[in-house]
Amino acid sequence: MQTLTQTLTKQAVPDSLSQLILRLADCSKDISQAVRHGALAGVLGATEQENVQGETQKKLDVITNDMLKDALKAEGNVRGLASEEEDYVVEVNKQGEFLVCFDPLDGSSNIDINSLVGTIFSILPAQDGELTEASFLQNGRQQLTAGYVLYGPSTMMALTTGQGTQLYTLNPDTNEFLLTDEAVNISKDTAEFAINMSNQRFWEAPMQTYISELLLGNIGPREKSFNMRWIAAMVGDVHRVLCRGGIFMYPTDNKNPEKPYKLRLMYEANPMALLVEQAGGKASTGYGDILDIAPEEIHQRVAVILGSANEVDACLSYHGLDYSNEPDIA
Ligand code: F6P
Ligand code: MN
């Protein structure tokens, strides 16, 4: 089996970018260890702090954020970083070529129940001149690399450098990531959906109709029965979509009119959208491709509908958009 280093070489990824990816991969191995020690290391539970988004930070949110920051500071080629757990963007190295956005521990509410969590990251090109929040506000198609590491029964990494999506599995004996799927291919059709159904009454009308018709199964207009899954960690739900297809949604809702969306664009939706598109799937807000959004703020949130191409199209058709005649992207 090929190692991560061998695959990046085969893909002719430039050395500086390869080194950064390998640095992130190494850091994720350390995070995997920290996560695995759980209660034994006293890392479970919450801190008394809140992040900029008003969410209570878990101890492991803070620990993993510091681990990634330290790793990126040690890497000479990072111009700046932005994290879910940092209020402002952080300057790293004036000579750096890359910007890194990350969610250090996605799904961290799963930590205390020993369930799936992961790290999501996105690498963008750095711009000349002073580093400000605006330097990061590039659309998702500018991403040079996107990936996540899932800390599950095995530690796995999904990665794209724009040449398809690959899956790697961490060999616990050698502590090396090995290529276990060289070209992820999300099935076009699916009979599995993922959405937090408790928000149903808060969704917009098109989503209400789409889900209610889907729930009617083989006696409804879709003439097909669906199964439902919800891991409550985007990284886990997207991983399932990459492995066996499906549609994952966190749509617009009016539960809190000041916060109509939940997931963050720069370090959740954009990297996942690129991984999904590179694997032959689709990623939309309901009204346009996630990767085409012109970002306005580093912590901005968006609606997310992603996964199996034909099912995303089916959902979009309820929103008045019919993309089914577009050519396949991957
Ligand atoms: O990071 C936000 C997040 O934890 C995602 O990982 C996950 O998909 C979602 O929120 C879970 O939301 P809810 O708490 O509504 O189930
Ligand atoms: Mn998250």
274-288 pLDDT, tens digit per residue, is: 999 999 999 999 999
Residue 106, marked binder? yes
Atom of ligand 1 nearest to the CA of 109: 4
* Candidate CATH numbers 3.40.720.10, 3.40.50.10860, 3.40.50.740, 3.30.540.10; the one for domain 4-181: 3.30.540.10
The pLDDT score that the predictor gives to residue 57 is 78
What is the whole-number distance in angstroms between the Cα of residue 235 and the centre of ligand 1? 9
- Whether 206 is in the pocket of ligand 1, judged by its Cβ within 6 Å, is no
- Whether 329 is in the pocket of ligand 1, judged by its Cβ within 6 Å, is no
Q: Is 113 exposed, middle or buried (0-12, 13-18, 19+ CB in 10 A)?
A: exposed
Atom of ligand 1 nearest to the CA of 108: 4
Closest ligand to C-alpha of residue 255 is: 1
Mean pLDDT of 42-65: 82
Q: Give the residue with greater pLDDT, 51 vs 60.
A: 60
Contact 2, 178 (CB under 8 A): yes
158-171 pLDDT, tens digit per residue, is: 999 999 999 999 99
Beta-sheet pairing, 78-83 with 98-106:
parallel
Residue 262, marked binder? yes
pLDDT band at 324; cut points 50, 70, 90: low
- Transcribe 83-101 into DSSP letters: ETT-SS-EE--TT--EEEE
- Whether 90 is in the pocket of ligand 1, judged by its Cβ within 6 Å, is no
- Whether 272 is in the pocket of ligand 1, judged by its Cβ within 6 Å, is no
pLDDT above 90: percentage of residues in the chain: 87
* pLDDT(14) > 50: yes
Closest CA to 60 of 23, 115, 111: 111
Chain-centre distance of CA 53, in angstroms?
A: 18
Closest CA to 277 of 194, 160, 142: 160
Mean pLDDT of 54-69: 89
Atom of ligand 1 nearest to the CA of 248: 8
Closest ligand to C-alpha of residue 104 is: 2
Residue 84, marked binder? yes
* Candidate CATH numbers 3.40.800.20, 1.10.10.10, 1.10.357.10, 3.40.190.80; the one for domain 192-318: 3.40.190.80
182-227 pLDDT, tens digit per residue, is: 999 999 999 999 999 999 999 999 999 999 999 999 999 999 999 9
Helical (H) or strand (E) element with 125: strand 117-125
The pLDDT score that the predictor gives to residue 328 is 45
pLDDT band at 327; cut points 50, 70, 90: very low
Q: Is 141 exposed, middle or buried (0-12, 13-18, 19+ CB in 10 A)?
A: middle
Q: What is the mean pLDDT of the chain?
A: 94
What is the whole-number distance in angstroms between the Cα of residue 162 and the centre of ligand 2? 23
Closest ligand to C-alpha of residue 105 is: 2
Within a 13 Å sphere around the CA of 33, how many CA atoms are in the beta-carbon half?
Answer: 9
Closest ligand to C-alpha of residue 110 is: 1
- Whether 262 is in the pocket of ligand 1, judged by its Cβ within 6 Å, is yes
Contact 221, 232 (CB under 8 A): no
Tokens of 295: 């970002």
For a mutational test of ligand 1's pocket, the pick from 112, 234, 299, i.e. the residue with the most ligand atoms closer than 8 A to its C-beta, is: 234
Mean pLDDT of 116-135: 97
Q: Do domains 4-181 and 192-318 have the same CATH topology?
A: no
- Residue 205 makes CB contacts below 8 A (sequence gap 6+) with none
Query: Which residue, by CA, sits nearest to atom 13 of ligand 1?
Result: 232
Beta-sheet pairing, 90-91 with 78-83:
antiparallel
State the Rg of the chain over Cα.
Answer: 19
Contact 236, 201 (CB under 8 A): no
When mean pLDDT is compared across 13-17, 34-38, 137-141, the lowest value belongs to 34-38
For a mutational test of ligand 1's pocket, the pick from 239, 255, 263, 304, i.e. the residue with the most ligand atoms closer than 8 A to its C-beta, is: 263
227-273 pLDDT, tens digit per residue, is: 999 999 999 999 999 999 999 999 999 999 999 999 999 999 999 99
Query: Which residue, by CA, sits nearest to atom 12 of ligand 1?
Result: 232
- Whether 106 is in the pocket of ligand 1, judged by its Cβ within 6 Å, is yes
Q: Please give the model's pTM, rounded to 2 decimal places.
A: 0.95
| Helix 59-74 × helix 15-37 angle, to 10° | 150
For a mutational test of ligand 1's pocket, the pick from 262, 299, 300, 302, i.e. the residue with the most ligand atoms closer than 8 A to its C-beta, is: 262
What are the residue ranges spanned by the domains of the chain?
4-181, 192-318
What is the whole-number distance in angstroms between the Cα of residue 10 and the centre of ligand 2? 31
Closest CA to 106 of 68, 161, 80, 74: 68
Amino acid at 192: E
Tokens of 122: 């996105």
